[in-house]
Structure 1
């Protein structure tokens, strides 16, 4: 019998509805000494639970909560000297705090459909009311993070129970967006 899997502390008991009026705020790392602060000057988009092994997750969580904001609206306010890119070869340049490990922002700078976006973890906002997650992505990847494969039906069932459709990639709308960008870039589709 598969064990119960802790999705994320803010998802295990259901999804808390956010506000479509949320206009950004300040993300704060988990350090008590000289915490890193990052300002996001706009609302967030495509908030979702993510099972990939690259995203920062709270202790004990199998999934992260991650969203995007325009990179030009993301600014390091305080203690940026504590930030270091986790993997410079990765598409998402995740800037993590060297003190606590929290990923504070992750811009996409390469030629990609997500170029110009920064990935952030909205649970790190000082402010309440950020837009809630709308789906679960890379669900199967949680196995690579240590989730028992026998628990995956339960994991998918839990996501559906809390109103998040589980995908083993991104949501269909985001996959269509990426495929359209690629088709236009290759000339298969014309703008």
Structure 2
């Protein structure tokens, strides 16, 4: 079985004062460069089939930054949107295929946030980003060919790394989605 992700179980810890950095596609020449002017939030391992994953990893590690904290600072012309009909418009390099960021342009609870993979930093820039906080969409790896009998091994790997596993998102993010929906439906009432 492939690894969960190179960061998972590595002992990596972020810095609470991390101010951002640069992310790069994998092209050897003229890589796409994206600059983030803040750390990410809700960084997590994701088992969905849409997120970009490093070679031999079962999960991606993806976090979010406010749209205004992301700038494409080099070789923007190399980017294209993988699926223009998807809620998250994943912008990938046309040459190497690496996803640099995902932006939501439809009415959605996470509109205004860009999804990014901080592992795309180089050298010393890899240090400091928020470490993964949980694992989401864990069962989705079965749909991608992982033997269901291996799922306890997968969940145990996350548990050993100190991460909770969910087959959706974390409770805090699910609460944000439900609050967004309640406000749209007019059923939101802040009481208790």
Q: What is the TM-score of this pair, normalised by structure 1?
A: 0.94
**Is structure 2 residue 163 aligned with structure 1 residue 167?**
no
SS in 2 for 1:179: helix
**Is structure 2 residue 28 aligned with structure 1 residue 29?**
no
2:3 paired residue number: 6
Task: Give the unaligned 5+ runs of structure 1.
Answer: none
Confirm or deny: 8 A CA contact 2:142 2:148 kept in the other structure.
yes
Superposition RMSD in Å = 1.1
In 1, the alpha carbon distance for the partners of 2:55 and 2:67 equals 27
In 1, the alpha carbon distance for the partners of 2:172 and 2:163 equals 15
1:116 paired residue number: 112
The Cα shift of 1:174 comes to 0.5
Alignment match of 1:104 (pick from 100, 106, 114): 100
Q: What is the TM-score of this pair, normalised by structure 2?
A: 0.94
Alignment match of 1:48 (pick from 38, 44, 47): 44
The Cα shift of 1:5 comes to 3.9
Runs of 4+ in structure 1 off by over 2 angstroms are none
Task: Give the unaligned 5+ runs of structure 2.
Answer: none
> How many matched pairs?
187
SS in 2 for 1:46: strand
2:138 paired residue number: 139
**Is structure 2 residue 126 aligned with structure 1 residue 130?**
no
Q: Deviations over 1:33-78 (max 9, x none)?
A: 1100001111110000000000000111110000000011111110
